[in-house]
Amino acid sequence: MQKEVNIIGAGLAGCEAAYLLANNGVKVNLFEVKSLMKNDIQKTNDLGELVCSNTLRSKSKKNAAGILKNEMKLLNSLVLKAALENEIPGDDALSVDRFGFSKYITGKIKNHKNINLIEQEVSEIDYTKVTIIASGPLTTDKLGKNIELMTGNEKLFFLDASAPIITKDSIDFNKVYWASRHNDAKDGQYICMPLNEEQFNAFVEELKNAETIKLKSFEKEIYFKGCQPIEQIAKTSKKVLLNGPLSPNNLIDENGNTPFAVVQLRQDDAIDSLYNFVGFQTNIKWPEQKRILQTLPGLENLNIVRFGVMHKNYYINSPKLLNRSLQVKRNKNIFFAGQITGVEGYIESASSGILTAINVLAYLNNIKIEQPSRKSMLGALNFYITNPKHDKLKPMKCNLGILDQQNKNAKSEFYSFDESEREIRRFIKGINNFAKIGESNE
């Protein structure tokens, strides 16, 4: 009899898990509520929607994000396929047309013979069936309360935000220039708005005094470091701005000059009509956003098509609740995947979905497997979020610091990349008696 699994949530992690399980002959019931009730930042009914940035970060073999994407490629990642099919210019970053990206994933899921997409809210978990909860940081209130009842633990959260998106035709190109941190100015793929010291200081004052959306009384200002609102950074330190989102480093203009500060815009769609602000997540009120951004050179007549917004990201206390297989310790039928486990970021969430699906396959076949080594980025992330030594989990992006390297001073600059690939290939070899990393059942 065909095995069956329920998956709650059709974001990046849920779609990755559904895709792998379905390709291994498992019948998947994939539940998604967004067509019936959207939250503040969801815009379409497509699956795997990118609600914040449109980049999957660096492609470099020296970078943790590049290492993790290579591991995902070896594991036949649906998300990585969608990104490569919809890639747009982004310098060293894997930037995508977010609409084409989601449509690609939606097509693969809806057209798979082993996946049944069910558009409804799940308010109660059926503990008698093998289930993956991949509802993400925007879990509905009803499901969240059911998760709390199951875990008996408090849910944690941090505040996240997205950046504004504007139309390219509203930019005055007489006042901006093209550049990229890793290329010559003539090959630049980012639109750069130069600021002298006086303009920078004036802009910082605008950010510091901007009227923001008031948080609810029960929401403390708990920000994830990688997604701090630009106005919060401005209040903290000008130095942080100049070393972060407004850094002029390597952004030389057409005259060979380096400005005091630079605001960057990155292409957001395939037809090159939309651009988003790099590192400009914000909780500023919408009229204020437009007024302040219009003070930047070249944006006097800007047209904003999506304002920056802030939202609460929920995640569970995985070290106390889950084992290394991302399985609930007190209910072996229930698994978690994605950002709700405490990994932070698109590729981190997607890779978590792949790993959880492999663990579910092992559980369905009554097989115990060894988890990926901490010498791989996937294994290191998994170890971090399930390490029982953590009393309260803090969300984590992939980074070289969590890798377990025997020789951190190896001469090869690609040591981490090569080592992680060997470990993932070894992991795949260890599961190939029950899991097919391929598309044979599409």
Q: Which residues contact 236 (CB under 8 A, 6 or more apart)?
A: none
Q: Rounded distance, CA 332 to CA 359, Å?
A: 11
Q: Rounded distance, CA 31 to CA 8, Å?
A: 5
Identify the residue whose tokens are 């490629």. Answer: 73
Long-range Cβ contacts of 123-127 (<8 Å, 24+ apart)? 125/8, 125/150, 125/334, 126/6, 127/331, 127/333, 127/334
**Helix 64-74 crosses helix 415-431 at what angle (to 10 degrees)?**
30
Torsion of CA 243, 244, 250, 255, to 10 degrees: -90
DSSP state string for 275-333: EEETT----B-HHHHHHHHTTSTT-TT--EEE---EEEEEE--HHHHB-TTSBBTT-TT
Residue ranges of the annotated binding site for FAD are: 9-14
Q: Chain-centre distance of CA 141, in angstroms? A: 22
Q: Position 169: which residue type?
A: D
Residue ranges of the annotated binding site are: 9-14
Contact 29, 7 (CB under 8 A): yes
Contact 262, 295 (CB under 8 A): no
Q: Which of 310, 314, 293, 311 is nearest to 302 (CA)?
A: 293
Q: Which of 371, 369, 367 is nearest to 352 (CA)?
A: 371
